[in-house]
């Protein structure tokens, strides 16, 4: 207990924090970066956002939107989207590595449990108005951010692509025509080191520049006894530069570029627990590990933070790009053009048997991507009518060259003990699968949104979007094994192959076999919405929205089940688009001379053909294989409330909460949870968690929870400051606190008795002293050292092993910031 409380005592733990909705921060419109106020300063209560592609007060926007300013992000140590979830109750983030990352809003946005280049997420991420297709961007550090807007609900009539669940709109600080700069250094436990710097100023009377850098380094929080390393470390660097050319008051051209690199010893999922499946008892985890005398997992308590993963771990994640944005005031509106190129280079090394045994020695999928986007829009504004019309084009090219290789423990681990081959390590040792996976992805769209101010109080806002998507893919897995005569041979489902009936090759074919197919998808869809908003008073806005939205279809690029004749089941290679019906009502209010803000939202979302992980027996095949397909219907509904208050210029506080009711309304061919998997394929199916009985081919999870969503989620905090003079400098001493809570949620594609994650709360404290030019403070995060899982996963093979991704333990340190 003393170990846990010592940092808290050192920091004089107290109650306060900058509010999540950044009521103290400056507008994020172009050229507003110069006006940013320090956290805790006085404010009029107005927050300017660009959620509707023009600058306006957030309280006048009839959309469920939360705003976090740059000063708040810095003060609370929120330097990536994962940490942003602690401030946003309906934002969910799950990541086992940058490629396997999912972001959901209100529980929807991405299918849970399978990684596949052929589908797309339903939460759009935009940084300086550039669409980021790869969700891996979310794992990188924020660099010089002005503010972040989280828009909840479908946004497709204003945003470029796939925003059926919402959008995250990040605005970085713009170049300034006044010379300015800032620097920040943080040190903490686990050898945490973080440095940030930014400088901006004029080059000529019409040209300004800004360059920003960020570096984060932290020792891992899990000790690997097999390699004598601390894993799941952080090793990030980010650089962003921008040039702003203003030849006149009506034209602004911004050229920006960035480079981001992560290269940590990461990412390992460790032993969490073992459950009983329907597999034969001698093929479950305890019996399998007993085949290797002397093997013991380092700890059966995940929070001892010890593992023995024996395959090399790496997660090199490089991303960058350039954009050119031109904004030209033409007549009563603004014409905006955004041209961008981005690349992503992913080079991983994983341990996918999740043990210290050499079952799989390599399971790596290096990926390279290039994407190109072009958006052109015109925003018109007048007394009674304003609108945005535009066009968007997107092209993406992904090339993945994967490899999977088995090791000397594979025969005993993967083959039935009744087979003599299971006792020969050479049978499955050295099976190599080389995977060539390709995707060419084209999307074209035209969109428009009109705001008709019928009266000074009533506004009617219809929107429309027409979208064309085309995907062309290739999946080519060439699997080579060793035949019984010692020769290297193709492992194939082609019965005419001369080694098809070789006993070793036959055994290997049950593990993995070559497969080739070229899926494609193309479709048009029409999205539309209508929004009614009414100004009850100057500070009270009521609104209602209906939206019909689509998330583009996809293709399976991780392999599909094989038919009995060995050919791929191409009928499941395509994934149909999601069709979303969304209803929302909201109330935005300010009172007490705008010192208090209270916003309330209720919504009801139904999705047909929800894209999800499924498992199915293809006719004529005895092989079960997971892939992406469509659940019939999903429903998510809920209530969200946000409250901020500033009773004095020295105190501010906030609380946000969300109730989310979520379920699969109809999903009859879902993957079964582990307690109903791994057994025989006959009928009838046996009781759950009973070894050696038959398992259902798939499971009906209609009425069950969606994965990753808590019914209740809250965030809250406060900040208090008092005038003080230290070392002859006048400033403010401040005390800060922020916290969040989420209730129990499921961490498996189909809810399992082994993968529910209990509710937990995280509490953060800080205390410091700031002036106009510097800020020094100490901080402690997860102050009470709460042990919690970020995710639990069923490992391959139905052995009962459940792996875990752990949340950060208690961390503490100090930060000093200078600005000029």
pLDDT reported for residue 40: 33
pLDDT reported for residue 29: 36
Burial class (CB in 10 A: 0-12, 13-18, 19+), 298: middle
End-to-end CA distance of the chain: 42
Q: Which helix (H) or strand (E) holds 508?
A: helix 503-509
618-654 pLDDT, tens digit per residue, is 444 444 456 788 999 999 999 999 999 999 999 999 9
When pLDDT is cut at 50, 70 and 90, the band that residue 616 belongs to is low
785-817 pLDDT, tens digit per residue, is 999 999 999 988 889 999 999 999 999 999 999
Q: Which of 768, 785, 786 is nearest to 777 (CA)?
A: 768
Alpha-carbon distance of 334 to 324, in angstroms, equals 16
Residues of the chain by 3-state class (helix, strand, coil), percent to 5: 10, 55, 40
Per mean pLDDT, which range of 157-161, 191-195, 550-554 is the poorest?
157-161
Share of the chain above pLDDT 70, in %: 92
Q: Which helix (H) or strand (E) holds 380?
A: strand 367-381
Query: Topology of domain 2-819, per CATH?
Result: Maltoporin; Chain A (2.40.170)
Alpha-carbon distance of 535 to 515, in angstroms, equals 60
Q: Which of 91, 88, 81 is nearest to 740 (CA)?
A: 88
pLDDT reported for residue 811: 97
Alpha-carbon distance of 747 to 757, in angstroms, equals 7
Alpha-carbon distance of 152 to 150, in angstroms, equals 6
The answer to whether the CB of 221 falls within 8 A of the CB of 188 is: no
Q: Which of 710, 713, 712, 714 is nearest to 746 (CA)?
A: 710
292-322 pLDDT, tens digit per residue, is 999 999 999 999 999 999 999 999 999 999 9
Alpha-carbon distance of 100 to 317, in angstroms, equals 12
3-state DSSP of 23-78: CCCCCCCCCCHHHCCCCCCCCCCCCEECCCCCCEEHHHCCCEEEEEEHHHHHHCCC
Give how far Cα 146 sits from Cα of 36, 37, 174, 492, Å.
8, 11, 8, 55
698-714 pLDDT, tens digit per residue, is 899 999 999 999 999 99
Compute the average pLDDT of residues 367-395.
94
User: In whole numbers, what is the pLDDT of the chain averaged over residues?
Assistant: 89
When pLDDT is cut at 50, 70 and 90, the band that residue 7 belongs to is very low
Burial class (CB in 10 A: 0-12, 13-18, 19+), 589: middle
Share of the chain above pLDDT 90, in %: 73
Q: Is the pLDDT of residue 586 over 50?
A: yes
pLDDT reported for residue 619: 43
- Please report, for the chain, the start and end positions of each structural domain, with discontinuous segments joined by +: 2-819
197 versus 493: the higher-pLDDT residue is 197
Compute the average pLDDT of residues 483-506.
95
Tokens in use for 229?
């390393």
For residue 634, report the phi and psi dihedrals to the nearest 5 degrees.
-130, 145
Compute the average pLDDT of residues 473-482.
96
pLDDT reported for residue 35: 33
Judged by DSSP in three states, 504 sits in helix
Q: Which of 636, 772, 694 is nearest to 107 (CA)?
A: 636
The answer to whether the CB of 636 falls within 8 A of the CB of 662 is: yes
Alpha-carbon distance of 98 to 109, in angstroms, equals 17
Q: Please, what is the Cα angle at 281 between 279 and 287, to 5 degrees? A: 120
**Residue environment code for 798-813, b if the CB has 16+ CB neighbours within 10 A, otherwise e:** bbbbbbbbbbbbbbbb
Judged by DSSP in three states, 153 sits in coil
Q: Which helix (H) or strand (E) holds 256?
A: strand 251-262
pLDDT reported for residue 45: 56
The answer to whether the CB of 672 falls within 8 A of the CB of 695 is: yes
767 versus 47: the higher-pLDDT residue is 767
The answer to whether the CB of 512 falls within 8 A of the CB of 431 is: yes
Q: Is the pLDDT of residue 41 over 50?
A: no
Compute the average pLDDT of residues 602-607.
97
Quick check: bond before 689 cis, omega within 30?
Answer: no
566 versus 405: the higher-pLDDT residue is 405
The answer to whether the CB of 115 falls within 8 A of the CB of 99 is: yes
Q: How many CB atoms lie within 10 A of CB 790?
A: 17
Alpha-carbon distance of 154 to 464, in angstroms, equals 12
Compute the average pLDDT of residues 63-80.
84
121 versus 730: the higher-pLDDT residue is 730
pLDDT reported for residue 3: 42
Per mean pLDDT, which range of 27-41, 226-240, 527-541 is the poorest?
27-41
pLDDT reported for residue 376: 96
358 versus 83: the higher-pLDDT residue is 358
Q: How, if at all, do strands 760-770 and 774-781 pair?
A: antiparallel
pLDDT reported for residue 160: 63
pLDDT reported for residue 744: 97
When pLDDT is cut at 50, 70 and 90, the band that residue 22 belongs to is very low
When pLDDT is cut at 50, 70 and 90, the band that residue 428 belongs to is very high
For residue 331, report the phi and psi dihedrals to the nearest 5 degrees.
60, -135
Q: Which of 636, 611, 576, 536 is nearest to 154 (CA)?
A: 636
Provide the 8-state DSSP code for 36.
P
655 versus 619: the higher-pLDDT residue is 655
The answer to whether the CB of 76 falls within 8 A of the CB of 764 is: yes
Which positions ≥6 away from 713 have C-beta within 8 Å?
89, 90, 657, 658, 660, 740, 741, 742, 743
673-696 pLDDT, tens digit per residue, is 999 998 988 889 999 999 999 999
Alpha-carbon distance of 49 to 56, in angstroms, equals 6
pLDDT reported for residue 137: 64
Q: Which of 624, 607, 480, 459 is nearest to 536 (CA)?
A: 459
Q: Is the pLDDT of residue 30 over 70?
A: no
């Amino acid at each position: 207990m003393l170990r846990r409380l010592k940092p808290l005592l050192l920091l004089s733990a107290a109650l306060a924090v900058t509010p999540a909705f950044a009521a103290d921060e400056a507008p994020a419109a172009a050229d507003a970066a110069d006006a940013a106020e320090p956290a805790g300063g006085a404010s009029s209560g107005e927050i300017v956002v660009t959620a509707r592609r023009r600058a306006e007060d957030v309280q006048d926007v009839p959309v469920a939107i939360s705003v976090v300013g740059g000063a708040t992000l810095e003060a609370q140590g929120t330097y990536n989207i994962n940490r942003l979830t602690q401030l946003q109750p309906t934002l969910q983030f799950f990541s086992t590595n940058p490629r396997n990352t999912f972001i959901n809003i209100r529980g929807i946005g991405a299918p849970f449990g399978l990684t596949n280049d052929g589908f797309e997420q339903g939460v759009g991420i935009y940084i300086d108005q550039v669409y980021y297709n790869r969700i891996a961007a979310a794992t990188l550090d924020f660099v010089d951010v002005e503010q972040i807007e989280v828009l909840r609900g479908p946004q497709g009539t204003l945003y470029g692509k796939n925003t059926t669940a919402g959008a995250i709109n990040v605005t970085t600080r713009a170049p300034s025509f006044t010379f300015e700069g800032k620097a920040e250094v943080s040190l903490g436990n686990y050898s945490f080191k973080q440095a940030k710097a930014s400088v901006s100023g004029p080059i000529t009377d019409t040209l300004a520049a800004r360059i920003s850098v960020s570096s984060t380094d932290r020792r891992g929080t899990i000790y690997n006894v097999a390699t004598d390393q601390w894993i799941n470390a952080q090793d990030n660097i980010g650089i962003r530069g921008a040039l702003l050319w203003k030849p006149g008051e009506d034209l602004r051209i911004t050229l920006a570029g960035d480079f981001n690199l992560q290269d940590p010893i990461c990412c390992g999922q460790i032993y969490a627990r073992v459950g009983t499946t329907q597999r034969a008892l001698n093929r479950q985890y305890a019996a399998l590990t007993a085949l290797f005398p002397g093997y013991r997992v380092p700890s059966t308590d995940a929070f001892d933070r010890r593992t023995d993963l024996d395959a090399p771990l790496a997660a090199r994640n490089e991303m960058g790009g350039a954009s050119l944005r031109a904004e030209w005031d033409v007549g009563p509106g603004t014409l905006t053009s955004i041209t961008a190129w981005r690349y992503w280079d992913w080079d991983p090394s994983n341990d996918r048997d999740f043990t210290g045994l050499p079952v799989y020695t390599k399971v790596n999928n290096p990926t390279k991507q290039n994407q190109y986007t072009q958006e052109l829009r015109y925003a018109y504004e007048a007394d009674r009518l304003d609108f945005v019309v535009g066009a968007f084009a997107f092209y993406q090219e992904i090339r993945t060259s994967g490899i999977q290789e088995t090791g000397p423990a594979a025969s005993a681990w993967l083959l039935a003990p009744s087979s003599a081959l299971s006792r020969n390590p050479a049978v499955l040792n050295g099976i190599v699968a080389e995977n060539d996976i390709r995707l060419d992805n084209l999307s074209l769209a035209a969109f428009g949104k009109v705001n008709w101010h019928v009266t000074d109080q009533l506004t009617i806002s219809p929107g429309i979007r027409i979208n064309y998507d085309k995907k062309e893919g290739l999946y080519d897995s060439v699997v080579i094994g060793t035949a019984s005569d010692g020769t290297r041979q193709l492992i194939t489902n082609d019965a005419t192959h001369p080694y098809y009936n070789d006993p070793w090759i036959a055994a290997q074919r049950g593990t993995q076999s070559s497969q080739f197919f070229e899926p494609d998808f193309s479709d048009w869809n029409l999205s539309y919405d209508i929004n009614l908003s009414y100004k009850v008073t100057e500070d009270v806005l009521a609104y209602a929205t209906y939206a019909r939205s689509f998330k583009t279809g996809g293709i399976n690029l991780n392999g599909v089940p094989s038919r009995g004749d060995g050919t791929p089941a191409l009928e499941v290679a395509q994934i149909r688009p999601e069709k979303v019906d969304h209803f929302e009502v909201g109330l935005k209010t300010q009172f007490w001379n705008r010192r208090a803000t209270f916003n309330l939202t209720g919504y009801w979302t139904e999705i047909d053909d929800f894209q999800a992980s499924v498992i199915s027996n293809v006719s004529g095949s005895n092989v079960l294989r997971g892939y992406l397909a469509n659940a019939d219907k999903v429903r998510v509904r809920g209530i969200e409330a946000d409250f901020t208050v500033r009773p004095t210029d020295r105190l501010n506080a906030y609380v946000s909460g969300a109730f989310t009711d979520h379920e699969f309304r109809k999903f009859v061919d879902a993957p079964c949870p582990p307690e109903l998997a791994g057994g025989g394929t006959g009928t009838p199916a046996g009781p759950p968690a009973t070894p050696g009985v038959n398992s259902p081919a798939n499971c009906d999870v209609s009425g069950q929870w969606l994965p990753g969503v808590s019914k209740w989620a809250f965030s809250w905090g406060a900040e208090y400051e008092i005038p003080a003079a230290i070392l002859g400098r006048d400033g403010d001493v401040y005390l800060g606190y922020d916290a969040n809570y989420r209730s129990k949620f499921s961490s498996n594609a189909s809810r399992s008795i082994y993968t529910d994650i209990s509710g937990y709360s995280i509490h953060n404290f800080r205390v410091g002293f700031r002036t106009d030019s510097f800020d020094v403070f100490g901080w402690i995060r997860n102050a009470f050292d709460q042990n919690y899982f970020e995710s639990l996963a069923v490992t391959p093979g139905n052995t009962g092993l459940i792996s875990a991704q752990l949340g950060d333990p208690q961390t503490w340190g100090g930060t000093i910031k200078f600005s000029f």
